[in-house]
Chains A and B, each alone.
Chain A
Amino acid sequence: MKEFFKRKDALIIGIIVLMVAVIAAVILVIGTSGGTKAHLAIYVGDVLYREVELGEERTVTVNQGQGVINKVHVTRDGFYMESSSCDNQDCVHQGEVTLDNYEDRVLMNWIVCLPNQVTLELVVDDGAEEPPIEEVEDGTAEE
């Protein structure tokens, strides 16, 4: 009785299976995650003040007038409160929020300046939808 499979046949099937597995894996990874993307959302009071793309290191200034100023340092994968005009400076001591550490922080993906009512959120986009990103000119954002 002759063999139903030849070695070459098995090799062809193996190659097809491998190629298909690789294609499927790529499609799944791209289709479900889209890579981890994130941006910074800045709130003043309960209003979304602006959204800023992470990337090149720069400083974004939130100037509410009358000397109420917060400066946010944006990095490639996070941000921190660089300075604040508030009394207690609590926000300046809340450290940096990054994609790597936000799940282990007490304040999670947030930095809060209570006196100035400025709140920073790291929004992890999960690839579900492109966030509306506002361009920041000259590293400042002033109303």
Chain B
Amino acid sequence: MNHSNSRRAFLRRAAAVVLAAALLLAGCAAAEEPAPQQNSAVGFYFDTVITLSAYCDQELLDEALARCEYYENTLSKTVEGSDVWNINHAGGQPVTVSDDTIALLETALRASELSDGAFDVTIAPVTALWDFTSGEAVLPDDADIQAALPLVDYTQIKVEGNTVTLPAGMMIDLGGIAKGYIADELAAFLREKGVTSADLNLGGNVITIGRKPDGTAWRIGVQNPHGSRDESILILNLVDATVVTSGNYERYFELDGVRYHHILDPETGYPVSNGLASVSIITQSSMYADALSTACYVLGLEEGMALIEELEDVEAIFITEDLEVHYSSGVVVNDSIN
């Protein structure tokens, strides 16, 4: 074989190899397992909206959403016959409740102990005196607040097995952490069913499963306390994590130039005023994050941050009224918008 022939043969082979590689590449793209379609489900429970977005079958999301009705009927203080309604109306008698209610109560009590009562699940008698939703700016009578304060004491709750006893006159409200609990349960349900990519939002409690299909983390914005309803002050990258924020901009009214917001101090019965605008908790359990965000808001920047630094796998972002942002030691922030 002379050089000319071998060269032509080589060129043919080279062209064939390159073309084959291209076709293989294209073939890989065409034959690649299609990622599950992103689907969504929406529902209204606990006076808020629940949006579930996941890369899985629609039926699975609908099944997950349907579980919310059970949780509402079990955990809502306003649904007659729910566990919480039964506890609050038992007149001091023991009440047998579901495992879900016990799990919530135990977390609530743990958060109460950790925060030395800054989070108190028995604050319901005081909360009931305030109206942050009607749009009318009316202060409750101070005498009523003072009369209700002795009924706020989480140490009076007795839990034995699935039996709960609450002194007559006291009330519990699990609404503050129920959304977190349900978020955890829905995420666990979807994971069990093999879902590897999802973001669930239960009235501001965001929990993520895995990453987006393109491998990037879920981007979750943290509300600018002074911005419009949808303005982020920073973006978090979350993978298999939850973020829950308590802020003084969520529900409030203004009277004589003073903002009265919905985060009440269990010691005074009045809205907390310590220079904080919001506290966001980032961790694995949305229920725990729910309780800790309230507790840390009440505790304030210094004590709240100290509490967070004592806890494992829990991070926090404190934003002050003058928009100073304070991060706990392990927070990962993608970028700052403002």
Contact = CB atoms under 8 A, between A and B. Distances in A.
Interface of A: 2, 4-6, 9, 12-13, 16-17, 20-21, 23-24, 27-28, 31-32, 41, 43, 45-46, 87-88, 90, 93-95, 103-110, 112, 114, 117, 119, 121, 123-124, 126, 128-129
B34 A93 contact: no
Contact of B44 (A21, A31, A45, A123): A45
B51 A16 contact: no
Contacts of B201: 107-108, 110
A9 B4 CA distance: 11
Main DSSP-derived SS at the B contact region: mixed
Given A106-B223, A119-B42, A123-B40, A13 B35 contact: no
Given A16-B15, A28-B29, 11 more contacts: A12-B11, A16-B18, A16-B19, A20-B19, A23-B22, A27-B30, A32-B32, A90-B229, A110-B51, A123-B38, A123-B40
A95 B44 contact: no
Interface centre among A12, A21, A110 (most CB of B within 10 A): A110
Contacts of A17: 18
Given A94-B229, A106-B221, A106-B223, A46 B44 contact: yes
B274 interface: no
Contacts of A119: 42, 49, 51
Given A13-B14, A105-B221, A106-B221, A93 B26 contact: no
A20 B21 contact: yes
Interface in B169-218: 199, 201
Contact of B232 (A106, A109, A112): A106
Contacts of A123: 38, 40
A140 to B, nearest CB: 22
Contact of B49 (A41, A87, A95, A114): A114
What is the size category of the interface that chain B forms with chain A?
A: 35 or more
30 contacts: A9-B7, A13-B11, A13-B15, A16-B15, A16-B19, A20-B21, A23-B22, A24-B25, A24-B26, A27-B30, A28-B25, A32-B32, A43-B42, A88-B135, A93-B229, A93-B230, A95-B231, A104-B232, A105-B230, A106-B222, A106-B223, A106-B229, A106-B230, A106-B231, A109-B53, A121-B51, A123-B38, A126-B38, A128-B35, A129-B37
A32 B30 CA distance: 8
A16 B221 CA distance: 47
Given A4-B7, A95-B228, A103-B219, A41 B40 contact: yes
Contacts of A87: 135
A32 B135 contact: no
Contact of A31 (B14, B29, B35, B231): B29
B144 to A, nearest CB: 26
A104 B235 CA distance: 7
Contacts of B232: 104-106
B41 interface: yes
Please list the 10 inter-chain residue pairs (A to B) with the smallest Cβ-Cβ separation, ordered nearest first.
Answer: A31-B29, A27-B26, A20-B22, A106-B221, A46-B43, A43-B42, A24-B22, A94-B230, A95-B230, A119-B42
Interface in B280-329: none
A93 B29 CA distance: 42
Contacts of A104: 219, 221, 232, 235, 337
